Amino acid sequence: MMDMKVQSEMLEQFYKMIDKEYIYSVYQPIISLQDGQVMGYEALTRGPKDSPFHSPLAMFQFAEQQGELYMLEQLAREKAIKGSILEHPQQLLFINISSQVLYDPGFVPGKTLEILQKYGLRPSNVVFEITERSSIEDSSLAQKILEHYRKQGYRIAIDDAGAGYSSLQAIAELQPDFIKIDRSLIENIHKNKVKEYILETFVTFAHKMNISLIAEGIEHADELTKLTRLGVHYAQGYLLGKPNESPALVQDIHKMLIWQHRKVQGSSMTWSIGDLKTPVKVFDKKKLISEVVDYFKKNQEAVGAVIVDEEVPIGLMMRDRLFQQLTGQYAFSLFWNRTIDSIMDESPLIVDELMPVEEVSQMATSRAINHLYDLVIVTSNGKMGGVASIRTILESITNVRMESARVANPLTGLPGNLQINRELNKRISENKPFHVVYADLDYFKWFNDRFGFQKGDQLIQYTADIMQQSIAVCGTPHDFVGHVGGDDFIAISSTFSPKQLCQEIIRRFEQGVQMFYEDEEWEYVWDRSGNKVKSEGVTLSLSLVVCVCESPISLEHISQTAALLKKKAKAHQGSIYYFEKIGSSGLELESV
């Protein structure tokens, strides 16, 4: 308990800080796990440096104790908006707001809108982030207040989900647009199956509720890879960008982790939304409504148009909605000479061209019924690319699913032999260097017999996962992972470090295979011929075929070479890889 003199001095410093507006904002990027782009920034308040209020925790706790939380938060919101570093109109600014402030008599709806207009932002740019740790005492009142903000165009996020039971209650009552997953659930999720299962449940729930998930506190690449695989939408943390006063630059290596996983998830059977985009009429945001009406009258087949600001899409104008707004007695005279941005849909569905079609479909069909058939706007590097209709999206998904069901492996969902052969033939015809890694589990039959087929299936799925994760870390965005069948897998890569890729596959396999043994011990296992072999358990044999492509090669050559290397690897105890170069004059063998 601080004495009266210290408290008096602290209070004097606090009021001086507020009066002189000494606080400032730093911004931490929130990254899309679909395309690696910056979706938005969370504004984080800092007090004066070298003062007891530099730490936001100390500053806000003191304000709450003194009953001045609203005054501090009002200034923090204004500073966050004033210093905003949003780079284009589709980025979002996340502003923290304590739930207690919602009930403060001084809380005046509309004040935030004034500040936004002052600095050239819209409510559609802002997400109010309510911390879960500050309990919501009157949920019905909070819902009314937040619904008022939603109608103005703001969005709502619940912070620290997963840190306590009350987060589930807040989610159920407030039905936010975003759920931020607490660091306690994210830390070492790649090593913790319980955390993984909990997050899988969050992902399923979020899809059903049309809520986007944001994973907080990511510090390791393995966490990022696991979250991407689980289908989490967005991420933030020191790995991706520290809080700063200037826009973030996401490192290429982290973008590649995201891109690579999206690529290998469905491999050649996954279409991106960019494959379906078609041209559409574009209007500048300051075009008169009368000009847009004239276009639709002359082009009866046009169902919508995109509104842009310097090539960046910011809105959508559907034909039917435009003419509905003009049907009133005075509508024409009221709207005719106004600009189109005054009546456009400010929150259309805008996606990057490389986003998988299935994910766009989930987002599109989760929209409100009156927007269900709106066009989906497709961007390329943040700029206008085209549009896709719901009909086209659903038809493409049907075709992909039919083809995938016919040729993909039913257990892992990875491409099967037909697609593997297509990919190999494609690489051979391109006549550029590439590498083929064949992976085969040793003593898998023994494991299956001892632990049961369900555990065996889990081990197969685990091997598929570590193949994909290793490609994500050591491969390139155009690499391929397939399931030959049973316990055999293949990776086709253009990495500059194929040996490092093999080492990574073995490292990850050895790191996690122990969890399948249920703490049992043994001295011997049995091979497929029934022979007793001294071994600690299942191991992994890799055949690395380096295709130099200086001279012609064939599928048969690759297959024969891999078979010879596999025989050598299986004769060796423990997980190992052997490699050979083909398509060149030299021959090189090596193992580790």
For position 283, which CATH number holds?
Answer: 3.10.580.10
Indicate whether 87 belongs to any domain: yes
Q: Say whether both 244 and 278 belong to one domain.
A: no
Q: How far apart are CA 338 and CA 521, in angstroms?
A: 78
Q: Are residue 324 and residue 364 in the same domain, yes or no?
A: yes
Q: Virtual CA dihedral for 392, 394, 399, 405, nearest 10 degrees?
A: 160
**Among the listed residues 93, 91, 103, the one whose alpha carbon sits nearest the alpha carbon of residue 25:** 93
Q: Is the residue at 9 inside a domain?
A: no
Half-sphere exposure of 230 (CA within 13 A, CB side): 28
Of 218, 252, 248, 257, the closest CA to residue 235 belongs to: 218
Interatomic CA distance for residues 49 and 528, integer angstroms:
68
Instruction: Give the model's pLDDT for residue 294.
Output: 93
pLDDT at site 164:
54
| 453 shares its domain with 545 | yes
Domain presence at residue 365: yes
Q: Does residue 543 contact residue 562 with C-beta atoms inside 8 Å?
A: yes
384 plus 444 within the same structural domain: no
State residue 590's pLDDT score. 44
> Does the residue 404 lie in any domain?
no
Asked if residue 418 and residue 388 are part of one domain, the reply reads no
Q: Are residues 60 and 156 in the same domain?
A: yes
CATH number assigned to the domain comprising residue 246: 3.20.20.450
173 touches 139 (CB < 8 A): yes
Q: Which residues in the chain land under pLDDT 70?
A: 1-3, 102-110, 132-139, 161-170, 249-271, 329-332, 400-407, 585-592
For residue 180, give its domain range: 21-262
User: Is residue 377 a part of any domain in this protein?
Assistant: yes
CATH of the domain at 564: 3.30.70.270
Clarify whether residues 388 and 423 are in a common domain. Answer: no
Closest CA to 473 of 225, 300, 284: 225
Which residues, in sequence order, are CB contacts of 580 under 8 Å at separation 6+? 544, 545, 546, 561, 564, 565, 587, 588, 589
* CA distance linking residue 229 with residue 249, whole number of Å: 23
Q: What is the reported pLDDT for 237?
A: 92
d(C-alpha 130, C-alpha 383), whole Å: 31
Read off the pLDDT of residues 282-306 as tens digits, 9 standing for 90 and up. Answer: 999 999 999 999 999 999 999 999 9
Q: What is the DSSP letter of 187?
A: T
Q: Are 312 and 90 in contact (CB under 8 A)?
A: yes
What local confidence, expressed as pLDDT, does residue 326 receive? Answer: 82
Contact assessment for residue 233 and residue 214, using Cβ atoms and an 8 Å cutoff: yes
Read off φ and ψ for residue 160, nearest 5 degrees. Answer: 60, 25
State in Å, rounded, how far the first CA of the chain is from the last one: 62
pLDDT of residue 588: 45
**Radius of gyration, alpha carbons of the chain:** 28
pLDDT for 589? 43
Please say which residue of 232, 262, 292 terminates a domain.
262
Q: Give the separation between CA 272 and CA 360, rounded to whole angstroms.
A: 9
Cα gap 14→10, rounded to integer Å = 6
> Does residue 543 lie within any of the structural domains?
yes
Residue 143 falls inside a structural domain: yes
Q: Which of 236, 262, 288 is the last residue of a domain?
A: 262
Regarding whether 279 and 228 lie in a shared domain, the answer is: no
Strand spans (E) along 319-375: 350-352
**Cα–Cα dist 166/159, whole Å:** 11
Q: What total number of domains does the chain contain?
A: 3
Q: Would you say 549 and 433 are in contact if contact means Cβ atoms under 8 Å apart?
A: yes
pLDDT of res. 540: 96
CA distances from 413 to 175, 219, 409, 447, 481 (A): 33, 29, 5, 22, 11
Q: Does 414 lie in the same domain as 349?
A: no
H runs (alpha helix) in 56-110: 56-65, 69-82
Are residues 230 and 285 located together in one domain of the fold? no
At 180, phi and psi to the nearest 5?
A: -100, 120
Q: Which long-range contacts (CB under 8 A, 24 or more apart) does 199-207 make?
A: 199/227, 199/230, 199/232, 200/230, 202/161, 202/162, 203/230, 203/231, 203/232, 206/179, 206/233, 207/231, 207/362, 207/366
Within a 13 Å sphere around the CA of 9, how many CA atoms are in the beta-carbon half?
6
Same domain, 363 and 467: no
CB 28 within 8 A of CB 70: no
**Is the domain of 423 the same as that of 469?**
yes
Residue 3 counted as domain residue: no
Nearest to 322 by CA among 349, 342, 350: 342
* Final residue in a domain of this structure, among 396, 430, 462: 396
- The DSSP element (H or E) to which 308 belongs, if any, is strand 304-309
- Tokens linked to 507: 């490292």
Q: What are phi and psi of 359, to 5 degrees?
A: -70, -35
Q: Are 308 and 282 in contact (CB under 8 A)?
A: yes
- Spatial distance between the Cα atoms of 321 and 326, rounded to a whole number of angstroms: 9
